[in-house]
Amino acid sequence: MDNMICVGSGSAGNAYILRTTAGTLLIEAGLPVATIKRSLNYKISDIAGCLISHSHGDHAKHAGSVAQLGIPVYVGSTHTANEIGISCICLPHDTASDIGEFKVLPFFVRHDVTCCGYLIYHADFRTLFFATDLGGLRDRDMMFYGVNHVLIECNYQDGFLAANNAYPAAIKQRVRQYHLSLDGCVSILRNNISLKDVKTIGLIHLSRENTDKQDCLSRLIDAVPRTIKCDTY
Ligand SMILES: [Zn+2]
Ligand SMILES: [Zn+2]
């Protein structure tokens, strides 16, 4: 997705930047503010806000520092606001909210803490579906239409996770329950998102130990229409 800068993706820290002609939206604050600033060439005056999916450190550790810059921090649940422990704006789920020139609608996903994905609209790129750290959608039958870009977690591949002896069984179980495999990701793309208008799909939050980036990409390309540009971050 041309309007997106991936500052970092994965358990070491997540931050994504949506740049448009009329403002910037930060998604996640899992990396230090200095790193985020550098990715924007220190031009942070037009950041309309920072969206946070959930309270885990790799997504929210630096939310307080972001807020200290005067950037409003948005979440999809009061649970998340309480867990992060800073003053956040909680977005409603029944109607899209304006954040600068962006319109944002949260939806719940299944994780071991309250976690939200977001539909983000801006005239420059139209509609982005963003979801990370999810065992699946909370509402399995949820259907998304009119999506133009997808950024979705692809945390592990079943074979790699099963063969990973460094992970105790309990951790493997947690990963399977609360994170998305390549197969799970493809299932959401096939069953919950209308791909008719989708132009790009980006896989995010890939585990270095439990995925092969190139293999994920080629399997994704095989699973979706050829007109869609696929990428990994
Ligand atoms: Zn994470
Ligand atoms: Zn998480």
DSSP assignment string, 81-119: HHHHTS--EEPPSSS-EEETTEEEEEEEEE-SS-EEEEE
First to last CA, the chain: 11
- Among candidate residues 64, 74, 76, 56, the one with its CA nearest the CA of residue 12: 56
Please determine, looking at this structure, whether the domain spanning 4-232 carries the CATH number 3.60.15.10. Answer: yes
CA–CA separation, 222 vs 215, rounded Å? 11
Map out the domains of the chain as residue ranges. 4-232
Q: Which ligand is nearest to the CA of 56?
A: 2
Furthest-apart CA atoms within the chain: distance in Å: 48
- Confidence category of residue 76, pLDDT binned at 50, 70, 90: very high
pLDDT tens digits along 186-216: 999 999 999 999 999 999 999 999 999 999 9
Q: Which ligand is nearest to the CA of 59?
A: 1
How many residues in the chain?
A: 233
From ligand 2's centre to the CA of 127, what distance in Å? 24
pLDDT tens digits along 122-164: 999 999 999 999 999 999 999 999 999 999 999 999 999 999 9
From ligand 1's centre to the CA of 163, what distance in Å? 21
From ligand 1's centre to the CA of 134, what distance in Å? 9
